[in-house]
């Protein structure tokens, strides 16, 4: 049987347009999906939009439009990142879709033995859509959003998450649910060891401004946005009414990967797992957690005016240049920084001056009348295979930056080979040198496909037609 991979990203709040941090996650997941397809595996790649949040209601009120219009408008912008960023996702799910609403309610009912109602007073962060203990705040503020949570008192439904504490802990400790990197795994275990409490999974319809999914058989309450949002991962597969597809991709599939940011790790590695256990459903196999993207070492913020629009960045520099920077410059599991200066430096040195220069000079030499296309030497094949092995090893560990580094080391090796042998002098081995580098460029084109799909195709066409093209126009000040 063909191996299957189900890969998902977090679904994004659509209270505003996407920023470069959203692009980072989607591109990382896209590389994983493309890599596994290149291994001839069946891949289902899902992303989507989270539309039932109170912050969407608040944003719509500020804009003076209906919440329905706001989420529809912004969901389209997120959906269109597929073209801007060359994403290869198979489905985009919106949490206002009927299949999602039906699936969320079905999951609620499947967990009903672990759901109860009680009065509650707590500190609620609208940004996180989460209640926090005093001890989890920093100087009385939400660590994530630096805002003061609201004190909320109402009667809501609760989920018996505490019942699953030991099972979840055993699962993570034994790597049956693998959390990458280890640092995040340890953070999750520390959170579990501090004592898991039952979680509030509904909000009053009044406080939700009537927006959201009704609790089954109780329209006075809306399902908590995280309980409904997390279920998107199974709803897109037909949990509500497509048993065969759901069975194939979720219940019987051993390779289910969530790609998420560090700020929502507990929701995925603890809350979601408890919900699935309660419902008697299969569990994900892996959670890959990336860091945040800052701008000039500051968090992206509208108030600071430093939010970077990925669509505008693509318009200025091109899709593959944006993909390259985010994948090469940013260590996947750590926080990374963006500045235009660093971006343009990478662009000129690695893209225009690296792969772009190597292709142009090699194809130009190959067009000379004296060139005879020969078989590549064993030495160049061996060198190329060495770098390809490194690349594969790194990709298996989600080390996108190191995988790209290996490719660029092969590019540097080819440049050095040309510089040392000087084939333009048309000595006896000139044709062999050019043939060797053409072979390596063909291999580079193939392994670059998952990172820079447009560039890969351009290299391939340039080699086939022996036509020199400018891959990346050098930037000048």
Question: Nearest to residue 324, comparing CAs of 414, 413, 453, 441?
Answer: 453
Number of H helices, E strands in the chain: 20, 17
Please tell me the distance from the alpha carbon of residue 279 to that of residue 132, in angstroms, as a whole number: 25
Please tell me the distance from the alpha carbon of residue 195 to that of residue 11, in angstroms, as a whole number: 28
Q: Is 302 designated active site?
A: yes
What angle, 0 to 180 degrees and rounded to 10, lies between the N-to-C axes of helices 356-366 and 453-465? 10
Question: Which strands sit side by side in the sheet containing 298-299, from one edge to the other?
Answer: 298-299, 293-295, 336-338
- C-beta separation of 171 from 273 below 8 A: yes
Beta bridge partners of 223: 202
Q: Is 100 designated active site?
A: no
Q: Is 19 designated active site?
A: yes
Catalytic residue among 111, 128, 200, 414: 128
- C-beta separation of 10 from 4 below 8 A: no
Q: Is 299 designated active site?
A: yes
User: Which string of b and e fits 397-416 if b means at least 16 CB within 10 Å?
Assistant: ebbbbbbbbbbbebbebbbe
91-94/42-50 β-pairing = parallel
Question: Nearest to residue 435, comparing CAs of 388, 370, 390?
Answer: 370
- 180 is written with which tokens? 């990458």
Q: Is 258 designated active site?
A: no
Q: Is 290 designated active site?
A: no
Catalytic residue among 299, 381, 386, 405: 299
Catalytic residue among 4, 73, 102, 145: 145
- C-beta separation of 22 from 39 below 8 A: no
Q: Is 142 designated active site?
A: yes
Catalytic residue among 125, 258, 268, 449: 125
Calculate the alpha carbon distances from 101 to 90, 238, 472 in Å.
20, 12, 46
- Report CA dihedral (128, 131, 133, 134) to the nearest 10 degrees: 70
Kindly list the catalytic residues: 19, 22, 125, 128, 142, 145, 299, 302
């Amino acid at each position: 049987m063909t191996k299957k991979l189900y890969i998902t990203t977090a679904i994004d709040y659509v209270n505003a347009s996407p920023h470069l941090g959203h692009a980072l996650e989607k591109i990382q997941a896209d590389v994983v999906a493309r890599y596994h397809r290149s291994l001839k595996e069946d891949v289902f790649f899902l992303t989507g939009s989270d539309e039932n949040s109170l912050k969407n209601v608040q944003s719509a009120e500020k804009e003076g439009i209906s919440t329905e219009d706001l989420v529809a408008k912004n969901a389209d912008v997120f959906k269109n990142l597929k073209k801007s960023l060359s994403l290869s996702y198979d489905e985009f799910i919106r949490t206002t879709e009927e299949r999602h609403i039906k699936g969320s309610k079905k999951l609620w009912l499947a967990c009903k033995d672990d759901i109860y109602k009680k009065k509650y007073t707590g500190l609620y962060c609208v940004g996180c859509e989460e209640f926090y203990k005093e001890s989890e705040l920093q100087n009385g503020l939400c660590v994530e959003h630096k805002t003061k949570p609201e004190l909320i008192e109402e009667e809501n439904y609760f989920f018996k998450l505490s019942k699953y504490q030991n099972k979840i802990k055993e699962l993570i400790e034994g790597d049956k649910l693998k959390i990458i990197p280890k640092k995040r795994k340890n953070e999750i275990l520390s959170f579990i060891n501090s004592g898991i409490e039952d979680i509030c999974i509904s909000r009053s319809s009044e406080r939700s401004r009537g927006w959201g999914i009704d609790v089954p058989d109780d329209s006075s309450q809306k399902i908590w946005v995280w309980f409904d949002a997390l279920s998107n991962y199974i709803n897109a597969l037909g949990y509500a009414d497509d048993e065969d597809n759901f069975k194939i991709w979720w219940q019987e599939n051993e390779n289910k990967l969530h790609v998420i940011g560090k700020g929502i790790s507990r929701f995925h590695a603890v809350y979601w797992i408890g919900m699935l256990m309660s419902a008697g459903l299969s569990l994900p196999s892996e959670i890959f957690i990336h860091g945040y993207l800052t701008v000039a070492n500051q968090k992206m913020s509208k108030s600071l005016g430093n939010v970077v629009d990925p669509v505008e960045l693509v318009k200025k520099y091109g899709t593959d240049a944006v993909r390259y920077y985010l994948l090469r410059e940013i260590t996947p599991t750590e926080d990374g920084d963006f500045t235009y200066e660093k971006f343009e430096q990478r662009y000129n040195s690695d893209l225009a001056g690296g792969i772009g220069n190597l292709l142009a000079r090699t194809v130009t030499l190959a067009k000379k009348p004296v060139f005879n296309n020969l078989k590549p030497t064993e030495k160049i094949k061996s060198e190329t295979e060495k770098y390809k092995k490194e690349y594969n090893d790194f990709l298996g560990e989600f080390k996108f930056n190191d995988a790209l580094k290996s490719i660029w080391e092969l590019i540097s090796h080819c440049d050095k080979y040309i510089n040392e042998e000087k084939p333009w002098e048309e000595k006896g081995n000139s044709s062999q040198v050019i043939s060797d580098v053409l072979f390596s460029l063909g291999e580079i084109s193939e392994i670059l496909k998952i990172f820079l799909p447009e560039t890969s195709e351009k290299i391939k066409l340039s080699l086939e037609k022996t036509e020199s093209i400018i891959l990346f126009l050098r930037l000048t000040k």
